[in-house]
Structure formats: structure tokens, C-alpha cells
């Protein structure tokens, strides 16, 4: 079953200067995350709604898991930390838009073949010959590349916008700038 999620990543895909435990402690310190539900998964914290701006209609907000089996699904809001990786990983899903070359604006028909297996390796645009990496592409917040991921499970694409305070707090504590994207059926 696809799991909708908002994914936070450092602005540099090669940044990994944090342990899972340190990231967990940071998220709990700023109260974005609460208690550990099971290893790697955290409940939403008391300030969770202070860090996210919900767009459109008021959503049904569910913070408690309906069952133990619901942890890791999109049935309620909770967090998952996936870090650090030994190399950058590209993440996208079946709803990711076909990107265009940032140099010549040609649609990149082969992008899934190039980066679909999670690689962030450089490829060559078939139209203009320029080198491209996933980090060069405007994915319109539907894909990203990194070594550290903070996932907020249960968040559907384009229904939430993280507020500046979240990125300010993450940068203040980690020294890295952060950004976000949405995926649904990918699993890091």
C-alpha cells in the first residue's frame, strides 16, 4: 500500500554529518517529534502543527496509531528517520513529473532509467550534451537526492507546506540548509 509522505532533506545531497540518534534528539528538542513508537519511528510532537501549514480544506488530523501495524503507514501522522547513507540516494515515485533539462529545456524521457534505481550519478542530456545530476533538475517538489531523510508519514503531496521556522531550527542545530519534497510509493 503506498505511503504518502513529506520528506525533508539537507540542501546538499552529500551532507550526512548527523547520526540517527542526534537527529531524533534534535526533532524531540524542537518538539516536532515526540516519543519513539518503535526504532526509527517517532510520534508527532507537541509543536508538530506549529511547523506545518496545511493548505486547502482542513484535514482530519490523526496523531495516534490505530494499531501497532499502522506504524510505517500513512494512517496517521508520524516521523521516520532514514540516515546516514554511505552515498546519496535519489527518491521519486510514480507521480513524479517528467523533468526537463535545465540547460536546453528538452524533456528528459530517460530519467527513470537513469535515476530510477536510486542512483544520483551524472548523465548526459541527449539534446544538448550537458552533464546532469538529479540535483540539477527542478522536480517541482516531487523528487530529491540525499543521504539523510526525515519523513513525515501520512502527508499527501501538496497538502502541506513546512513553515520557515522548521528550516530555521534544522539549520541552527545541524549547520545545513534543508528543503522538502513529496513521495508516495517510494521506500528508502
Q: Residue ranges of the domains in the chain?
A: 5-96+139-183, 98-135
pLDDT of 2 reads 86
Q: What digits encode the pLDDT tens for the residues 99-128?
A: 999 999 999 999 999 998 889 999 999 999
pLDDT of 84 reads 66
pLDDT of 59 reads 65
Task: Flag residues of the chain having pLDDT under 70.
Answer: 58-59, 84, 186-188
Select from 177, 169, 176, 180 the least CA-distant residue to 26. Answer: 169
Query: What is the percent of the chain where pLDDT is above 70?
Result: 96
pLDDT of 1 reads 78
- 168-147-83-27 Cα dihedral, nearest 10 degrees: 10
Distances (CA, A) of 90 to 55, 87, 112, 119: 27, 10, 11, 6
Say if pTM beats, i.e. exceeds, 0.85: yes
Ramachandran class of 126: left when φ > 0, alpha when ψ lies in -120 to 50, beta otherwise: alpha
**Within 10 Å of residue 183's Cβ, how many Cβ atoms?**
26
Amino acid at each position: 500500500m503506498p505511503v504518502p509522505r513529506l520528506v525533508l532533506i539537507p540542501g546538499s545531497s552529500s551532507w550526512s554529518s548527523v547520526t540517527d540518534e542526534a537527529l531524533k534528539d534534535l526533532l524531540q528538542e524542537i518538539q516536532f517529534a515526540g516519543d519513539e513508537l518503535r526504532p526509527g519511528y517517532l510520534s508527532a510532537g507537541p509543536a508538530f502543527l506549529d511547523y506545518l501549514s496545511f493548505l486547502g480544506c482542513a484535514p482530519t488530523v490523526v496523531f495516534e496509531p490505530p494499531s501497532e501495524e499502522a506504524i510505517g503507514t500513512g494512517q496517521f501522522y508520524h516521523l521516520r528517520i532514514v540516515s546516514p547513507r554511505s552515498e546519496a540516494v535519489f527518491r521519486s515515485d510514480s507521480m513524479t513529473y517528467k523533468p526537463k533539462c535545465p540547460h536546453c529545456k528538452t524533456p528528459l524521457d530517460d530519467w527513470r532509467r537513469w535515476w530510477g534505481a536510486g542512483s544520483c550519478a551524472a548523465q548526459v542530456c541527449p539534446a544538448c550534451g550537458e552533464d546532469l545530476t538529479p540535483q540539477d533538475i527542478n522536480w517541482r517538489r516531487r523528487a530529491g537526492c540525499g543521504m539523510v531523510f526525515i519523513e513525515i508519514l501520512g502527508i499527501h503531496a501538496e497538502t502541506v507546506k513546512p513553515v520557515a521556522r522548521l528550516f530555521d531550527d534544522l539549520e541552527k542545530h545541524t549547520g545545513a540548509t534543508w528543503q522538502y519534497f513529496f513521495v508516495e510509493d517510494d521506500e528508502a
